[in-house]
Amino acid sequence: MTRSARRTGLDPRALGELATQRLGSCEKALPDAAAGLTVAEFLATAPRLSSFLTPLLVLDGAALGANTARLATWCAEQGVDLAPHGKTTMAPALWERQLQAGAWGITVATPSQLRVAVAHGTPRVLLANALVDPVALTWLARALDGDPELDVVVWADSVETVAAMDAVLAPLAPRRPVDVVVELGAAGGRTGARTPETADAVAAAVAASPWVRLRGVGGYEGSLAHDASAAGLAAVRGYLADVAALHRRLVAAGAYVEAGEALVTAGGSAYFDDVVAALGPLADPDGGSGLPTRVLLRSGAYLVHDDGFYRGISPFSRSGGSPFTSAMHAWARVVSCPEPGLALLDAGKRDVPFDEGLPEPQLVADALGAPARPLPGAHVSAVNDQHAFLRTDPASAEQVRVGQVVRLGLSHPCTAFDKWRWIPVVADWSEPDPVVVDLVRTLF
């Protein structure tokens, strides 16, 4: 498919196909009434939340909209752009929300995710990883040759990475080079060149190759800290200063001679304020300093946010201002109360995230969609494959009963979405037994 240079969103035909997909009888948590209907036909019946099975992951449309608008406005005020990490949700319908709010493009992490993005007409895609898989690199080269409007940028952190790309691309002799960002890392981090000299050598290797083209510099600060302590923030800020220095060094060396526009990219959802403080001054969209330069944040978790790790570490939470709102919750049913103070819920590791903290019990109700009340003093002590261990004070009057449902706050959207193929969206989950207004399809 050839993209219009004016289009900023996904391919409407690809998005439309999501609504025409026919639902089967084995879809996780969907009611029997959905079987045999297309998504659009099912939604036209105005299904209520109470018709779904537990365990169930639910999204709040109002919170999704507010979070999207909040970061889009902030980025515009700061003079930076956003290429949100699509791997958080792997849901093209949610990517479209972000693109329509002004996002420059979508970031992905793997070749398979890249194929999903291209198949749905994503105008610009940043693969925040090296691409040395021969099958995937061959596919990308052919895709670039077949679509002059397709804009894909990948990463490289070593001379060996560039050599591996050249070995695949040279026999193909593609008409278009593959754009590359030099990734700078740091000791104790994840990928990325560990020294300035290595990063400079990567840029030189790219310049010497006819098959790849230097497009910018980038990295990921989130692997250097896991909190907002003084030591953690110092590590993040020192690293970001090194990323900025690498870009300035390449500009001075004339390394971007073919780029047209340089990209400088960093920024997860935990330290994007520090990224803007360090890299924002590099943004120069008009090229007044001689080279048009775009600074790209890759924050992804902000869209859905959470009631755990990101609730505590997000810059908007730490600043004391207006924080993001969690747009996801799970509902799980009490299936056993085998001893005082212990209840077993029907949601486990295959349903809810647990890598950044266990689910947080918040409300209890007699049924899905029924009035709910707080569940103070309760906590989840462990999760098995299909169960969560809900602990309450045996002496408290607030005890749960078999058959009731518990709303769980979740931590880490990146490992929540991958457990679900269809996720219902309600317009406002404060309404009694809310109508499901959308089904979000994930493509992991």
Q: 421: which 2 tokens?
A: 């193929």
Distance CA 70, CA 183 (A): 29
86-90, 198-202, 253-257, 324-328: which range is least confident on average?
A: 253-257
How many C-beta atoms surround the C-beta of residue 331 within 10 A?
Answer: 26
Distance CA 72, CA 82 (A): 8
| pLDDT band at 190; cut points 50, 70, 90 | very high
Span 419-443, pLDDT tens digits: 999 999 999 888 889 999 999 999 9
User: If you average pLDDT over residues 325-347, what whole number do you get?
Assistant: 97
E strands, 189-237, where? 212-218
Q: What average pLDDT does the structure give for the chain?
A: 95
- Closest Cα partner for 309 from 77, 88, 71, 60? 88
61-65, 66-70, 323-327, 428-432: which range is least confident on average?
A: 428-432
| pLDDT band at 1; cut points 50, 70, 90 | very low
Which part of the chain has CATH 2.40.37.20?
Answer: 328-429
Q: Is the pLDDT of residue 92 over 60?
A: yes
pLDDT of residue 2: 38
Span 100-148, pLDDT tens digits: 999 999 999 999 999 999 999 999 999 999 999 999 999 999 999 999 9
Q: Using only the alpha carbons of the chain, give its radius of gyration.
A: 23
More confident residue, 6 or 382: 382
Distance CA 96, CA 78 (A): 22
User: If you average pLDDT over residues 322-346, what whole number do you get?
Assistant: 96
The single residue listed with the structure tokens 């250097």 is 224
Q: 24: which 2 tokens?
A: 């089967």
User: If you average pLDDT over residues 228-240, what whole number do you get?
Assistant: 96
| pLDDT band at 7; cut points 50, 70, 90 | low
Determine the topology of domain 104-297 in CATH.
Answer: TIM Barrel (3.20.20)
pLDDT of residue 257: 83
Global pTM exceeds 0.85: yes
Span 359-415, pLDDT tens digits: 999 999 999 999 999 999 999 999 999 999 999 998 877 789 999 999 999 999 999
CATH code reported for the domain at 328-429: 2.40.37.20
User: If you average pLDDT over residues 315-333, what whole number do you get?
Assistant: 93
- What is the Cβ-side half-sphere exposure of residue 252, based on CA atoms within 13 angstroms? 7
pLDDT of residue 5: 45
Q: Is the pLDDT of residue 269 over 50?
A: yes
Span 148-161, pLDDT tens digits: 999 999 999 999 99
User: If you average pLDDT over residues 339-350, what whole number do you get?
Assistant: 97
pLDDT of residue 3: 37
Which part of the chain has CATH 3.20.20.10?
Answer: 104-297
Q: Is the pLDDT of residue 209 over 80?
A: yes
Q: Is the pLDDT of residue 51 over 90?
A: yes
Q: Is the pLDDT of residue 207 over 90?
A: yes
Distance CA 386, CA 346 (A): 6
